[in-house]
Amino acid sequence: MTPYGQKSNRVKWIGAPVKYVLFTVMMLTWAFPVIWVILTSFKARTDIFTLPPRIFFNPTVEHYIEAFVRSSDIARGTLNSILVATATTVLTLLVAVPAGYAFSRVTFRFRNQLSFFALMTQMAPPIGLIIPYFFILSRTGMLDSYTGLIAIHMTLTVPFCIWLMITYFQDLPVSLEESAAIDGASPFAAFFRVVLPSTWGGVGVTAIFAFIESWNEFLYAVVLTGSRTKTVPVAIFSFLTTEESLWGPFTATGVTIMAPVIVVALFAQRQMIKGMTLGATKG
């Protein structure tokens, strides 16, 4: 074997362990806070403040009972989050799917400008829009209402979902619609019977992104909601007061908030990665 070949093999033997060590460190960096919150939610009150922290302990569900049975805010906030996130997802799909198809297939005036405007709305910092949104909802009587919060969440989800659907529709060959037209199908029939069934995977990924965005949103919800419509990311802070911080119920609620996102990420990670990278290699 040549010296160059020996050096190449040596680099491979050294590089592989280093790669796995770096990967493990990155995974632990992400997973440690999540694991810590989960463990804390099952610790008794005395074990939470024990120093050094206990790794082995007798688990309890008292914090979950206190958060969801004894506290009405968390249970109501969870229901509000489910309602708002589900409605936002459905309405976002109703707008993003046909809009994405129109931008990818239909030629009309100002198409490029409008598609860029949809992307440009994502560039504005959310904190800079809170005051205008507050005044708009206040003047229209939609402050502390499901309709107002869903509308605001759609300003976050619709632009990104439109661009995500554009990439999916552009990935489909135009010959599908041309074949349907030859068979006598109208443009609407070709869309619903040929194009849309071919992009169900993309629609599913788009729905996942919209749901997670709405479910995790805190900044707008904390300002634009009240006692009636506040979501669970807002309600969780009722356990942190100037007098006492109830870390047990706080972490139990945190686990409940994270659970849907983690489950979706685990079961749909391949589709989500495909949705984020689709079209990246096109010229």
Residue-wise pLDDT for 177-214, tens only, equals 778 778 777 778 888 888 888 888 788 888 888 998 99
Give the whole-angstrom CA distance, residue 165 versus residue 159: 10
User: Which residue in 99, 154, 102, 126 sits closest to 223, CA to CA?
Assistant: 126
pLDDT value of residue 19: 75
Domain check: are 138 and 15 in the same one? no
Domain check: are 88 and 18 in the same one? no
pLDDT value of residue 280: 47
Neighbouring CB atoms inside 10 A of 263's CB total 10
Backbone φ and ψ for 281, nearest 5 degrees, come out as: -100, 0
Residue 243: exposed, middle, or buried by beta-carbon count in 10 A (0-12, 13-18, 19+)?
exposed
Q: Provide the terminal-to-terminal Cα distance of the chain, rounded to the nearest Å.
A: 41
Domain check: are 148 and 253 in the same one? yes
DSSP 245: B
User: Which residue in 94, 193, 98 sits closest to 150, CA to CA?
Assistant: 94
Does some domain include residue 282?
no
Look up the pTM and report it. 0.78
Domain extent at residue 143: 62-277
In a 13 Å sphere around the CA of 213, the CA atoms on its Cβ side amount to: 23
Does some domain include residue 53?
no
DSSP 230: -
Domain check: are 29 and 104 in the same one? no
| Residue 50 DSSP SS3 | coil
pLDDT less than 70: residues of the chain = 1-16, 242-244, 267-283
Q: How many domains does the chain have?
A: 2
Q: The tokens of 184 are what?
A: 């006598």
Domain check: are 204 and 99 in the same one? yes
Domain check: are 12 and 77 in the same one? no
Give the whole-angstrom CA distance, residue 171 versus residue 282: 9
User: Which residue in 163, 83, 91 sits closest to 123, CA to CA?
Assistant: 163
Domain check: are 250 and 160 in the same one? yes
Find the CATH number of the domain harbouring 140: 1.10.3720.10
